[in-house]
Chains A and B, each alone.
Chain A
Amino acid sequence: ILNVEQSPQSLHVQEGDSTNFTCSFPSSNFYALHWYRWETAKSPEALFVMTLNGDEKKKGRISATLNTKEGYSYLYIKGSQPEDSATYLCAFLTGTYKYIFGTGTRLKVLA
């Protein structure tokens, strides 16, 4: 059974702090890794689609790295703001077009 794990499950940070979380996934049968941000009462919003080992993507204060050989991806938020408060989900896409989501990291940024 393929499993995707995210850590930590939740965290609280102060405004201005930088933070990061981890997505661990199977290192075999890899096709792509997606990161999403999901704010309460809204639709999940795509952040990054990562496909290549060593890939690094950036969107404003948020960036992500990918290591397909060891099966992990990191999401970084620099200078956290209250509007960054959300659940961050990663999803592993297998070569047979099946998505496997983690349970998410719930981030709360305190003003």
Chain B
Amino acid sequence: ETGVTQSPTHLIKTRGQQVTLRCSSQSGHNTVSWYQQALGQGPQFIFQYYREEENGRGNFPPRFSGLQFPNYSSELNVNALELDDSALYLCASSSLATSTDTQYFGPGTRLTVL
């Protein structure tokens, strides 16, 4: 067990809707990264938060946004859902912004967009 939890486990939405996914980081970790894994691909980096500020972003449109809270839990928000947003969403926490420290992954949220 990594100590990182995600909710919900599974989610079904329809195109155009908005979704919020949640991640609870391992205790003491101030950095969280979010990833999207589509079928047959490796995880794609969405963004990273360090002490409540965005610290790096992959090639995702602005309708993917995030928040990190003082207790280091975080959210991934996706607006105007598209069919291609169907994927497994993973969060990973670590203790340093430089991220040469080990990342600890949660079990993921499986999002299906119909």
Contacts and interface: CB of A to CB of B under 8 A. Distances in A.
6 contacts: A34-B102, A43-B105, A43-B106, A49-B100, A91-B42, A91-B43
Interface string B85-114: 000001010000111111111111000000
A101 B44 contact: yes
A89 B101 contact: no
A86 interface: no
A89 B56 contact: no
Interface residues on A, range: 20 to 34
Contact of B42 (A43, A45, A103): A103
Main secondary structure of the interface of B (DSSP, over half): loop
Interface residues of B, number: 29
Interface of B: 2, 4, 33, 35, 40-45, 48, 55-58, 90, 92, 97-108
Task: Give the dominant DSSP class at A's interface.
Answer: strand
A9 to B, nearest CB: 10
A49 B102 contact: yes
A10 B106 CA distance: 24
